[in-house]
Amino acid sequence: MIILHIARKELLRSLRDTRTFMFMLAFPIVLMLILGTALTNAFTTSLTFDDLKLAYKLEDPESQASGYWNEFAKSIEQNGVLVTPLSADEDGKKAVKNGEYAAFAEIKNDGIEFYGSNKLTVESDILQGMVSAFANRYSLAAAGAKQDPASLETLLSEAGSGTYVKETSLQGDTVPDSMDYYAMAMSTMIAFYACMSASQLIRGEKVRNTALRLAAAPISKAELFAGKVIACTLINFLCVIVVVAVSRFAFGANWGDHYGPILIVLFTEVLLAVSLGLGASYLFSGEGGSSAVMTFTQIASFTGGAYFPVNDMTGFWAILAKISPLWWANDALTKIIYSDEVQALWPAVLFNVIFAALFLSLSILFMRRKEAL
Amino acid sequence: MEYWLIGNKAALLFYVIAATYFLSGTSTSWEILAYLLYLILNIAIPLFKPRNAKIVLVLLSSAFLVLCAVRLSPEFLLLLPVHLFELVELAPGAAGRSLLALAIVPLPFLPKGAIPVYILATALSSLVYLGMRTQLDRLERMDHTREKLRSELERLSRTLGENEEYIRQSEYTIKLEERNRLSQRIHDEIGHSMAGALIQMEASRTLLHVDRDKSAELLGNAISISKEGLERIRLALKDIKPKSEELGIHRLRLYADELSAKHNNSFTTTVTHEGELDAITPLQWKIIQENTTEAVTNAMKYSQATVIGIEIQVLNRFVKSVVSDNGIGTDKVIKGLGIVGMEERAAAIGGTVVVDGTRGFRVTTLLPREAAR
Amino acid sequence: MNVLNIRNVTKTFGDFAAVDNMSLSVREGEIFGFLGANGAGKSTTIHMVSSLLKATKGEIEVLGKNIAKHPRFAKSNIGIVPQDLAIYEQLTAYENVQFFAGLYGLRGSLLKERTEEALEFVGLGDKAKSFPKSFSGGMKRRLNIACAIAHRPKLIIMDEPTVGIDPHSRNYILQSVLKLNEMGCTIIYTSHYMEEVEEICTRIAIVDHGKIIAEGTKEQLKSIVTDTKEIWIGVRSESNISVEKLKNVPGVVSVRIEDGQIKLQSKAEVNNLNEVIQQLIQDNADIRSVEEQAPNLESVFLTLTGRNLRD
């Protein structure tokens, strides 16, 4: 009960502290808008590439599969793919290796063998997506035909039609554009900014002299602590949700389809930030806590990809980036949003929770040693 | 001790991580989970205060290790002996020590290759543990003896102080007795001889016109008796009268003058007084004298003062003596033996000593007046 | 019964003893004044009583229970009004009081009732919904008090509650202290306004360098320095005045006449100004001025500690 009482006060106080609250909301949204629009080109140009070149070989040109493959080939040619049939004596794999084609597909009666180029990875990935979609469609249709031979025609004609190409990963909006990227990066950044308000949780009471009253009241330090951590986490999580919502509905950023896991990642990140801020305020005396947290937040934001994508980094910078808690979160979110890999949330959540527990226990240890608050 | 055990565990854990994660090559994320869980469990152990909670955690951690050893890699068992030591630390007495034998229990369950490492790790850990334990026990015993000696010393110095106080008191009583004796002597001897002379003179007056010779003889007797009496008074008074320099304020003046002279007049000493000095009892004078000497000595040693003022003031219910200087003073007075001595002297008759260092040094001794007590 | 017992308490910070072997008792129903310069150890003592600091040595009892062993009991029975304002600017007056009272376990309608009662008590009943930033210094001070009394503590500790406020608010606060006392609260009051302490406190302790130098009622403290007062009466003609008759007025110890002024020394506790003046009128003395110089706490403090209270 006391914990809730304290949490309620803390919530009320934070919500009424309009200046800080507005900063926490306006800062990421404005930054998102600026970076998102200013750097549009930087994100799209890096994705342009020449024609997609796909070579293929039909094992049995007379088979049903081959027929529909031709249908498929025609439809993807309309989407700008250069489809080249190879004669039986040409070596498709070698041609791909030499960089003549982005990929080579061998259509056999029992399946399709696909060789992607390891140089033109983006192109080959796209082609692979298309081909595997075709294969899925085709095998579905074939299975369906066994059940109901009459429907085979319609199924296969659907399989061959160009509509499914749209469902592969060719369409531009499934790769992050600048706004999508900064919507995500700003959300994780603002989630981590929670550590700044957390570093003021105890310090602020001291500055306000209310620490004296709290210490004189018949409550345990643990209750006070719990109330404050809960409130601080909630209020900052609320900020994050607002930022996410604004980016989604006002700027139309892509957040994928898995809001649950995304919010879980962000929530645990807030929790980590709060614990970190609290721990720092105990580790450093006076205002040292906030400035240490401030510095760390800025460095972590920078290396963690809040201002520019860091996935292309190599060597030292890559390691530096991976130390940043923001990187774990961004990495997990990228996978969840663009690759539908919901499992990617676990490493981030696990790291966040474990470090949060670590810093919280550290704070508790320090707190118990102190005479007053 | 706790830190040493934690260090031991950390060292072993590093080895286990190295052996199971980096060197084996067959590592999975399960291992990482295991390390982290183990870390959490073991960080929790020092966090909890109650002994039972610690024991439960240690047992939990041990069970966890066994589980890891069975499911993941037998190397985890290397950490087990340290837990045993922890249990021994928590369980009191010889019963606890016998638990150490349990360290050999895992031996039969280990794969052949791991046995030497296990024995090595256990033996080294045991050595560290037992060595530390013996040293700590010795330290404890020494602490114990030291504490006993200290309290003994305190007791002795207290008795010494009490004896001194007793001596001081009896000195005073002796003086009183001495005065009593003197007044008795005056009364007994001089009183009697004066009375004798008076009777002789009365008789001489009666006989003056009747028998001149007899009268003259009686008068002669009276004169010699008076002479003798006068001589006795002189002698007795000489006995009774104390030398003026022995009296309170004079003695202080004398002390101050000597001091200035001794230090080639490098500083000035003033003695002032206010109120009825007669109200100060000899015991109070003694304390004032001693405290003043102490304070002046301190002032000369540390203050770099050029003026030292001694002030005695008799208030309605207190006698106040102040030694102040114009030296450097100090913001925070650290009590040395000198100040403690002054306090003890004053406390013996219910007084207080206040040392102020804000504007030069100022030592105030407040003694309650006899009548006011 | 003693509400507070402090026995041989010492508090050291490193080598420095902020409170030095202090012993003190506060009895039920007292307004106990704690008088001392800045840094004398008042706040340290108060902080130890309210469990903010732990005593290095010695023990403290609140309502007969040791605070080290029963911290919750002691804390629930104490209300502390800190020296500096300790309120939340983002909460309304009502919410401030409600929050602090809630920390003492009050809930629901009782909490509401007590909160309103406390605000009413300090005269902020109509400002319940306002934010402290719209308050004057005095109103903030009053809110500061309300936050400490809503849980109806038996012992209220007020650490300089009137620093830097207008005379009206100050008067209001002093009256509130007396009213709280009438309602059965024991109060410990520290201040370096001597007049306040003299006006409201029933017993006073003078603290310096962590020690209690003197303790007692106002009268007892004043009598430490002297038990006489001086009455100086300026007259136009001193020829008719009978010194003998003046000396016979009860309480008068000595009379001397200097430069057209009659200087009477009299016992401090006797109020004999009327008789003296009557006597002078009988003697046709033309009285120009009357001045009474009784010892006050300020002079007692100065004499005992060698410095002014507000140095």
**Looking at residue C288, which CATH number applies to its domain?**
3.30.70.100
Q: Does B332 touch chain C (CB under 8 A)?
A: yes
Q: In chain B, where does DSSP find H-type helix?
A: 2-17, 29-47, 51-71, 80-90, 93-98, 114-185, 192-207, 212-240, 248-262, 282-298, 337-348
Three-state SS at B235: helix
Cβ separation of B315 and C226 shorter than 8 Å? yes
Instruction: Please give the C-alpha separations between residue A168 and each of A65, A77, A180, B256, in angstroms, as whole numbers.
Output: 20, 14, 19, 106
What are the structure tokens assigned to B210, written together? 């009747």
Distance from CA of B321 to the nearest CA of A (A): 39
**CB contacts, 8 Å: A219 with chain C:** 103
Query: Residue A173 — pLDDT band, cuts 50, 70, 90?
Result: very low
Cα torsion C303, C305, C310, C311 to 10°: value is 110
Report the percent of chain A where pLDDT is more than 90: 13
What are the structure tokens assigned to C77, written together? 């029975």
Rg, C-alpha atoms of chain A: 27
pLDDT higher than threshold 60 for residue A159: no
Cβ separation of A9 and C84 shorter than 8 Å? no
Cβ separation of C72 and A208 shorter than 8 Å? no
Q: Does C227 touch chain B (CB under 8 A)?
A: yes
d(CA C151, CA C111): 9
Residues forming CATH 3.40.50 domain(s) in chain A: 52-174
pLDDT in tens, A281-330: 888 777 777 888 888 888 888 888 877 777 666 677 777 777 788 888 88
CB B308 within 8 A of CB B324: yes
Distance from CA of B147 to the nearest CA of C (A): 17
**CATH class of the domain at B245-372:** alpha beta
- Choose between A167 and B302: higher pLDDT: B302
Instruction: State the pLDDT at residue B93.
Output: 67
The residue of chain A with its CA nearest to that of C151 is A217
Domain-embedded: residue C304: no
Does the structural domain A52-174 have CATH classification 3.40.50?
yes
Q: Does A292 touch chain B (CB under 8 A)?
A: no
- The alpha carbon dihedral of A29, A35, A40, A42 has a sign of negative
Q: Does C307 touch chain B (CB under 8 A)?
A: yes
Q: Identify whether residues C29 and C142 lie together within a single domain.
A: yes
Instruction: State the pLDDT at residue A172.
Output: 41
Cβ separation of C104 and A217 shorter than 8 Å? yes
Distance from CA of C285 to the nearest CA of B (A): 33
Nearest to C156 by CA among C256, C34, C239: C34
Question: How many independent structural domains does chain C possess?
Answer: 2
d(CA B4, CA B7): 5
Identify the helix (H) or strand (E) that includes residue C149.
Answer: helix C137-149
d(CA A244, CA A250): 10
CB B299 within 8 A of CB B321: no
The pairing of beta strand C203-208 with beta strand C211-216:
antiparallel
The residue of chain B with its CA nearest to that of C228 is B316
Q: Identify whether residues C105 and C254 lie together within a single domain.
A: no
A5 burial (CB, 10 Å; 0-12 / 13-18 / 19+) is buried
The residue of chain B with its CA nearest to that of C213 is B352
Domain boundary among C171, C189, C217: C217
- Looking at this protein, which amino acid is placed at residue B363? V
The residue of chain A with its CA nearest to that of B42 is A358
d(CA A76, CA A123): 14
Distance from CA of A230 to the nearest CA of C (A): 17
The 8-class DSSP code of residue C238 comes to -
CB C101 within 8 A of CB C94: no
B-to-C residue pairs, Cβ atoms closer than 8 angstroms: 50
To test the contact with chain B by mutation, choose from C10, C225, C253 the residue with the greatest count of B C-beta atoms within 10 A, namely: C225
Identify the helix (H) or strand (E) that includes residue C49.
Answer: helix C42-49
Q: Does B318 touch chain C (CB under 8 A)?
A: yes
Nearest to B10 by CA among B39, B31, B36: B39
Q: Which long-range contacts (CB under 8 A, 24 or more apart) does A11-18 make?
A: A11/A231, A11/A234, A11/A235, A12/C90, A12/C91, A12/C95, A13/C88, A13/C90, A13/C91, A14/A197, A14/A231, A14/A232, A14/A235, A15/A235, A16/C90, A16/C91, A17/C90
Which partners does chain B have (≥3 C-beta pairs < 8 Å)? A, C
Pick from C209, C224, C307: CB nearest B315: C224
CB A58 within 8 A of CB A67: no
Q: How far is CA B206 from the centre of its chain?
A: 77
Residue with tokens 């560290």: B128
Q: Give every CB contact of residue A128 below 8 A, 6+ residues apart in sequence.
A: A103, A114, A116
Instruction: Please give the C-alpha separations between residue A248 and each of A255, A256, A330, A341, A360, in angstroms, as whole numbers.
Output: 7, 10, 17, 20, 33
Pick from B29, B36, B47: CB nearest A365: B47
d(CA C227, CA B248): 25
Q: Which of A81-90, A207-216, B306-315 has the weakest average pLDDT?
A: A81-90
| C-beta neighbour count of A88 within 10 angstroms | 7
Q: Which residues of chain B have pLDDT under 50?
A: 244-245, 372-373
The 8-class DSSP code of residue A132 comes to H
Cβ separation of A350 and B40 shorter than 8 Å? no
Report the percent of chain A where pLDDT is more than 70: 86
Pick from A347, A350, A361: CB nearest B47: A361
For chain C of 311 residues, list the mean pLDDT of each consecutive stretch of 10: 91 88 92 88 90 90 91 92 90 94 92 94 91 90 92 92 84 91 93 85 91 89 83 80 82 82 82 84 82 82 80 59
Instruction: State the pLDDT at residue A169.
Output: 41
**CB contacts, 8 Å: C214 with chain B:** 318
Instruction: State the pLDDT at residue A99.
Output: 76
What are the structure tokens assigned to B125, written together? 């850990």
**CB contacts, 8 Å: C304 with chain B:** 318, 320, 364, 366
CATH of the domain at C37: 3.40.50.300
Cβ separation of C95 and A208 shorter than 8 Å? no
pLDDT in tens, A66-81: 777 787 888 777 777 8
Instruction: State the pLDDT at residue C9.
Output: 94
Distance from CA of C253 to the nearest CA of B (A): 15
Q: Identify whether residues C84 and C188 lie together within a single domain.
A: yes
Identify the helix (H) or strand (E) that includes residue A195.
Answer: helix A194-207
Pick from C52, C104, C105: CB nearest A212: C52
User: DSSP string spanning A297-337?
Assistant: HHHHHHHHTSSS--TT--HHHHHHHHHSHHHHHHHHHHHHH
Q: Does B356 touch chain C (CB under 8 A)?
A: yes
Distance from CA of B47 to the nearest CA of A (A): 7
CB A369 within 8 A of CB C54: no
**CB contacts, 8 Å: B33 with chain A:** 350
Nearest to A64 by CA among A150, A164, A139, A128: A139
Range of the domain at C272: 227-294
d(CA A318, CA A326): 13
Pick from B29, B33, B43: CB nearest A361: B43
Distance from CA of A221 to the nearest CA of C (A): 12
Q: Which of A56-65, A343-352, B111-120, B202-211 has the weakest average pLDDT?
A: A56-65
The residue of chain B with its CA nearest to that of C268 is B316
Pick from A2, A12, A218: CB nearest C75: A218
**CB contacts, 8 Å: A13 with chain C:** 88, 90-91
Which partners does chain C have (≥3 C-beta pairs < 8 Å)? A, B
Q: Identify whether residues C107 and C237 lie together within a single domain.
A: no
Cβ separation of B43 and A358 shorter than 8 Å? yes
